[in-house]
Amino acid sequence: MKITDVECIPLQAPGRTLVIVLVSTDVGLTGIGEAGLQRRPRAIAGVVDHLRRWLVGEDPRRIEHLWQRMYRGGFYPADRLIGSAIAGIDIALWDILGQALGAPVYQLLGGRCRDYVQCFLNTAYAPVHAHEDRDLSRFLSQGDPAAAAERARQLLEEGHQYFRLSPPAPGGGPFEPRRAARQLLEQLRAVRAAVGDKMELMVDLHTRLVPPDAIWFCREAEPLNLFVVEDPIRSEFVEGYRQLRRHTRLPLAAGEQWASKWEFRQAIEENLIDFARVDLCIAGGLTEAKKIAALAETHLIRILPHNPLGPVCTAASLHLDLAIDNAGPQEIIFHPNQTLPDVFECAFQLEGTHLSLPEAPGLGIRFNREAARRYPLIDSEPPHFHTEDGAYTNY
């Protein structure tokens, strides 16, 4: 079996760009993958085109060998951009291998450790009831405590075990991190009062705080018994988690912006985090994610795969979750069975709060190339946050 082509196909889905990677072979099998950094689709397409010349004519079953070639080729190690392109290709190679052997990918990764995967939602994207006040989402994003409590009650009624919030985001105005953190605390207190201990509360600070403010936030939030505080500080400053660790008892998570096991190494080996937020579509695909999970397991650190993307990222994350012992709940932002359903056909379902067990060979995703042409890439300006004095701050 030989690789005959590697293609990058960016699609415009509602609320998100999906950067799809297809790997074709001379025996008629085509694997599908997805690349991260979805706000840089043209850059990803350029990297995929560059890597294509190293892949055409190669045996797609030599996954580790091809991963090393792509990551270490050209002398310079891969960064987030190249890591995202490698991830899309790597996931597609695992899909091909599963199809060739007639087995779902999780069987190739060692077999399943669980019968289904528990999920949590990004609250801002959570489904709403038909009778719900249409202003609820707007009030929620503006930091309204009553809106947060109402959304939590709705999700609890639907059987959800986790409720996650982020700092209120501005609607085009300035963003002051400390002010937003105070609003977030008020929302969290309202949610805890509304649902008691029936839901686990999660916070995604989205790398928006500096260490002193992150310490202050965590200390204020400790009485709320949070399940995890995610990305309180910028991902570039791993050492900052050592400072946080000394001052808070709350569980910490980081890693959604890290591109390899080398970037996870310090946080894991020094026990600076409790959850590794590996993004399979940025950190080199399933090949690298399995290694990061194994490294984390040696420190009793759980994996919370980051998933802001489409059905392919969800499928790859699902197969990893099924095959490792230290998987935590799985993030879902976009419903895999409702995101461009004419383009993606999934062999698994989001059933209530669970992702079901895929039985189809490979990833369990069928891709309709003709339907995909109806969703061409739309260039748009990514969101930018700034403080009141005009200085740039993290989105």
Q: Mind listing the pLDDT tens digit for each residue in 258-300?
A: 999 999 999 999 999 999 999 999 999 999 999 999 999 999 9
The reported pLDDT for the residue numbered 99 is 98
What b-and-e string marks burial along 134-172, b requiring 16 or more CB atoms within 10 Å of the CB?
eebbebbbebbbebbbbbbbbbbeeebebbbbbbbbeee
d(CA 358, CA 351): 12
Kindly tell me if the per-residue pLDDT of 131 is higher than 60: no
Cβ partners under 8 Å of residue 62, min gap 6: none
The reported pLDDT for the residue numbered 154 is 92
Comparison of pLDDT for 304 and 395, the residue scoring more: 304
What H or E segment, with its residue span, contains residue 184?
helix 177-195
310 and 352 co-located in one domain: yes
Strands, E, within the chain: which ranges? 3-13, 16-25, 30-35, 117-121, 162-165, 200-204, 228-230, 252-254, 275-276, 302-303, 330-332, 344-346, 350-351, 354-355, 365-367, 385-386, 392-393
Model confidence band, residue 384 (pLDDT cutoffs 50, 70, 90): confident
Contact 378, 42 (CB under 8 A): no
Kindly tell me if the per-residue pLDDT of 84 is higher than 60: yes
The reported pLDDT for the residue numbered 331 is 95
The reported pLDDT for the residue numbered 350 is 92
283 and 318 co-located in one domain: yes
Looking at residue 29, which CATH number applies to its domain?
3.30.390.10
pTM: 0.94
CA-to-CA dists, residue 298 to 269, 271, 284, angstroms: 9, 10, 21
The reported pLDDT for the residue numbered 135 is 55
The reported pLDDT for the residue numbered 95 is 98
Range scoring the smallest mean pLDDT among 124-128, 174-178, 370-374, 375-379: 124-128
230 and 312 co-located in one domain: yes
The reported pLDDT for the residue numbered 354 is 93
Percentages helix, strand, coil for the chain (3-state, rounded to 5) are 40, 20, 45
What's the DSSP call for residue 167?
A: P
89 and 131 co-located in one domain: no
Note whether residue 344 is domain-resident: yes
Could you tell me what percent of the chain has a pLDDT over 90?
84
The reported pLDDT for the residue numbered 304 is 97
Q: Which one of 80, 104, 128 terminates a domain?
A: 104
Comparison of pLDDT for 254 and 137, the residue scoring more: 254
Q: Which residues are catalytic?
A: 206, 306
The reported pLDDT for the residue numbered 137 is 59
- 40: domain range? 3-104
What H or E segment, with its residue span, contains residue 226?
none
Q: Which residues are registered as beta bridge partners of 365?
A: 346
The reported pLDDT for the residue numbered 196 is 97
Q: Which one of 81, 104, 127 terminates a domain?
A: 104
Looking at residue 334, which CATH number applies to its domain?
3.20.20.120
Give the mean model confidence (pLDDT) for residues 363-373: 97
Give the mean model confidence (pLDDT) for residues 246-261: 96
159 and 253 co-located in one domain: yes
Contact 123, 163 (CB under 8 A): yes
The reported pLDDT for the residue numbered 12 is 95
Model confidence band, residue 92 (pLDDT cutoffs 50, 70, 90): very high
Q: Which range has the top average pLDDT, 41-45, 173-177, 390-394?
A: 41-45
d(CA 123, CA 140): 9
Give the mean model confidence (pLDDT) for residues 191-200: 97
210 and 335 co-located in one domain: yes
Tell me the three state secondary structure of residue 17.
strand
Model confidence band, residue 163 (pLDDT cutoffs 50, 70, 90): very high
Range scoring the smallest mean pLDDT among 126-140, 325-339, 373-387: 126-140
Q: Mind listing the pLDDT tens digit for each residue in 229-249?
A: 999 999 999 999 999 999 999
- Nearest CA among 237, 79, 61, 387 for reference residue 70: 79
Kindly tell me if the per-residue pLDDT of 100 is higher than 90: yes
25 and 151 co-located in one domain: no
Kindly tell me if the per-residue pLDDT of 133 is higher than 90: no
The reported pLDDT for the residue numbered 114 is 94
What tokens appear for 122 in the block?
A: 């990004």
The reported pLDDT for the residue numbered 127 is 47
67 and 156 co-located in one domain: no
Contact 284, 83 (CB under 8 A): yes
d(CA 138, CA 133): 10
What tokens appear for 209 in the block?
A: 């705080």
Count of domains forming the chain? 2
141 and 207 co-located in one domain: yes
Model confidence band, residue 132 (pLDDT cutoffs 50, 70, 90): very low
What average pLDDT is seen over the chain?
Answer: 93
